[in-house]
């Protein structure tokens, strides 16, 4: 299939400029975005203390006084998952405790994927053994760029087998794949290999998630569902920093895939700073003003 690049760009611009959620209707949509958030830290200086703060925020992402003022004090809201490097999974397991919040680990030589195939498989297995219930793998971009789709399928099937009971989220690194047609094909191969989610980016590329590539990937998910009857989730990641952007992605999902996908089981937003802006916007809706920086700290 060849993607109509001009058509995709026009549709993405329309979503950015003409379709939005306004006024009081934003509050439930933003709370839904929080529940679909993969709260992430992928820094070289992550420590057990960093992970402790991350997990505490994951379990209570919105301050109780804000929820009470908005009339949602009885809502048990948590994020969709916490996402960390494999070496920090055991820390997450400890600090998450009895919470049902999934632990996601990036793997397979994240972010570049430039390690041997057997080492990628071992990294996946170890992360699962340490307690990860979701594995965010990076696809071998060289195979997609060379059009070696059969080999890409085989390697992804190996990753799927290594994940065992854990969900596999496949990161395309769309900023490095270039053409939208290639992004569509890579999405289809990932789903054929058994991916539970397809994800736009590592967050480390020069270009990360945007509405154009997200629209192409969501249409691939729709095409795959129509052919197979299997629902695959979507995770835009990288560069999503504002509540306004989060709402744009929710609108895209609703219009392209339907309400069934507006659920943490089929939608995740990968971000490290997005929650801060969403909580600021909810604070404004609750109290009529924006908080100072010291009132809205993040881990």
From first to last of its 299 residues, the chain has per-residue pLDDT tens of 778 888 887 887 877 766 677 777 899 999 999 999 999 999 999 999 999 999 999 999 999 999 999 999 999 999 999 999 999 999 999 999 989 999 999 999 999 999 999 999 999 999 999 999 999 999 999 999 999 999 999 999 999 999 999 999 999 999 999 899 999 999 999 999 999 999 999 999 888 999 999 999 999 999 999 999 999 999 999 989 999 999 999 999 999 999 999 999 999 999 889 999 999 999 999 999 999 877 776 65
Using alpha carbons, list the distances in angstroms from residue 249 to 18, 68, 125, 133, 174: 14, 27, 32, 25, 16
Contact predicate 217/208, CB 8 Å = no
Residues annotated as catalytic (active site), given as ranges: 199, 235
Check residue 241 and give its pLDDT. Answer: 94
- Give the domain ranges of the chain: 5-292
Check residue 24 and give its pLDDT. Answer: 77
Q: In 3D, which of 129, 219, 145, 142 has the Cα closest to residue 182?
A: 145
Check residue 130 and give its pLDDT. Answer: 97
| Residue with token string 């990628």 | 120
CA 202: distance to chain centroid?
10
* Residue 270 phi, psi (nearest 5): -90, 120
Question: In the sheet where 197-199 sits, what is the strand order?
Answer: 233-235, 197-199, 167-171, 134-138, 103-107, 81-84, 37-40, 269-271
Q: In 3D, which of 257, 111, 244 has the Cα closest to residue 197?
A: 257
**Fold for domain 5-292?**
TIM Barrel (3.20.20)
Strands 269-271 and 37-40: parallel
Check residue 36 and give its pLDDT. Answer: 98
H-only helix segments in 196-293: 211-228, 243-256, 274-287
Could you tell me if residue 276 is left (phi over 0), alpha (psi between -120 and 50 degrees) or otherwise beta?
Answer: alpha
Radius of gyration of the chain (CA): 19
Check residue 21 and give its pLDDT. Answer: 77
Residues 66, 72, 75, CA angle at the centre, nearest 5°?
Answer: 115
């Amino acid at each position: 299939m060849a993607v109509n690049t001009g058509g995709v760009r026009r549709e993405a611009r329309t979503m950015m400029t003409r379709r939005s959620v306004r006024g009081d209707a934003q509050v439930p949509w933003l709370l839904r975005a929080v529940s679909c958030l993969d709260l992430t830290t992928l820094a070289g200086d992550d420590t057990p203390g960093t992970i402790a703060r991350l997990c505490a925020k994951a379990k209570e992402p919105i301050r109780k006084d804000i929820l009470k003022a908005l009339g949602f004090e009885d809502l048990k809201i948590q994020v969709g998952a916490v996402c960390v490097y494999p070496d920090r999974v055991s820390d997450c397991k400890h600090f998450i405790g009895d919470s049902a919040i999934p632990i996601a680990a990036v793997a397979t030589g994240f972010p570049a994927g430039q390690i041997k195939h057997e080492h990628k498989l071992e990294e996946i297995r170890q992360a699962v053994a340490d307690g990860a219930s979701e594995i965010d793998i990076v696809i071998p971009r060289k195979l997609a760029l060379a059009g070696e789709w059969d080999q890409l399928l085989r390697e992804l099937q190996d990753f799927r087998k290594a994940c065992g009971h854990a969900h596999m989220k496949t990161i395309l690194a769309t900023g490095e794949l270039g053409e939208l047609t290639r992004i569509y094909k890579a999405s289809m191969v990932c789903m054929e290999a058994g991916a539970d989610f397809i994800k736009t980016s590592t967050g480390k590329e020069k270009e990360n998630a945007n509405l154009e590539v997200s629209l192409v990937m969501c249409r691939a998910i729709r095409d795959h569902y129509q052919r197979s009857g299997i629902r695959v989730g979507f995770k835009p990641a990288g560069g999503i920093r504002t509540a306004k952007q989060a709402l744009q992605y929710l609108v895209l999902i609703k219009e392209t895939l339907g309400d069934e996908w507006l659920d943490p089981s089929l939608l995740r937003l990968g971000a490290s700073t997005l929650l801060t802006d969403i909580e600021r916007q909810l604070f404004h809706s609750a109290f009529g003003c924006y908080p100072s920086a010291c009132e809205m700290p993040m881990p």
